[in-house]
Amino acid sequence: MLKNEKLLKFLGKKIVRFIILLIFVILLSFILIDMSPINPVKTYIANLGVVSPEKIAILESYWGVNEPITTKMFNWLANIIHLDFGTSLIYRAPVLDVIKQKFVASLVLMLSSWIFSGVIGFLLGVVAGFKKDTIIDKAIKVYCYILQSAPTFWIALLFLMVFSVYLGWFPTGLGVPVGTLSENVSFWDWLQRLILPMITLSVVGIASITLFTRDKLIDVMNSDYFLFAKARGESGWNLIVRHGIRNVLLPAITLQFLGFSELFGGAVLVEQIFTYPGIGQAAVSAGLRSDVPLLLGIVIFSAIFVYCGNLIADVLYNFVDPRIREGEEDGG
């Protein structure tokens, strides 16, 4: 009973915070877009050749370009409440539909690489910590330091050069083969184009989780309870599994959830380089081509996505650990 009440209270607090966060994100986005040189009318007419000033004026009033920022924002908010995010200028489709389609593609990419990097990173970290100061540990550490300091886009370019251009194992980009109708695209076509971006994103994500797991495991291995377990006769891999992994797993999972924001940032770069048609690429095109409604929509949904990651991390931290779960009433 108490536990459920606590969870509800906790979630209630989180929702209030989330609403406050959203308000600030929207405010900031509007102010930034207003200050930026983005002008949907200019983009729109760029493709139309010569357009008379009268027509520009009509278009400007149609899109409300010259209205004050407050009016723009309130109009937009009023529509949002009806789940109307407007129409994307570049895709000529409702923003919500565009986001839905792009987000699914991105989610597959992000989640697969998230799981991949989490599992591999955790295992590498455990091995490195267990074999501390051996050649294995040093190799893993060097690998992590290099990746940690290498920019994502550079790694992506390198992979693209090696695996797609020189070796020709994977196509250089795009979600599906060019010139194929969507109903003719096979699962393999799609998977083939997913693998390289996914591996790139995983490889980049592994470093932080590995180093964290390694450090945490070494901490645990120096702890009093680990020492006592040894003194009771437990040893070797069993000891690591029983007392090491148990104590490292939860913080590591928490960290991995907190990494959602980095994952999203990484996905934007990787999608751009592999021209993978996901949300990241859509965000960049929306920005470059002044698609304000799409850009705003993506900002909102990205914020929700990252916030969810952090929320899960918080819930895990506060309700899975028995010390906190069965402990004092006040969990903060």
Query: C-beta of 210: minimal distance to another protein in Å?
Result: 22
C-alpha distances out from residue 28 to 96, 193, 277, Å: 21, 35, 27
Task: Name the one range near another protein by CB under 8 A: 18-26, 67-75, 156-164, 231-239.
Answer: 231-239
Number of residues that bind another protein (CB under 8 A): 25
Task: Give yes or no for a contact between 245 and 261, defined as CB atoms under 8 angstroms apart.
Answer: no
Three-point CA angle 31, 69, 293, nearest 5°: 75
Query: C-beta of 114: minimal distance to another protein in Å?
Result: 25
Task: Give yes or no for a contact between 107 and 265, defined as CB atoms under 8 angstroms apart.
Answer: no
Longest Cα separation, the chain: 88
Task: Name the one range near another protein by CB under 8 A: 120-128, 153-161, 238-246, 290-298.
Answer: 238-246
Q: What x/- string results for residues 243 through 262 when contact with another protein is judged by CB under 8 A?
A: x--xx--x------------
- Choice from 37, 168, 233, 332 touching another protein (CB under 8 A): 233
- Choice from 232, 329, 330, 332 touching another protein (CB under 8 A): 232
CA distance 215 to 222: 11
H-only helix segments in 131-223: 135-149, 152-159, 187-221
CA distance 14 to 18: 6
Q: What x/- string results for residues 190 through 229 when contact with another protein is judged by CB under 8 A?
A: --------------------------------x-xxxxxx
Phi, psi of 167 (to 5 degrees): -85, -25
- Choice from 5, 162, 238, 308 touching another protein (CB under 8 A): 238
Q: Where do contacts with another protein occur on this chain (CB under 8 A)?
A: 222, 224-235, 238-239, 242-243, 246-247, 250, 321-323, 326-327
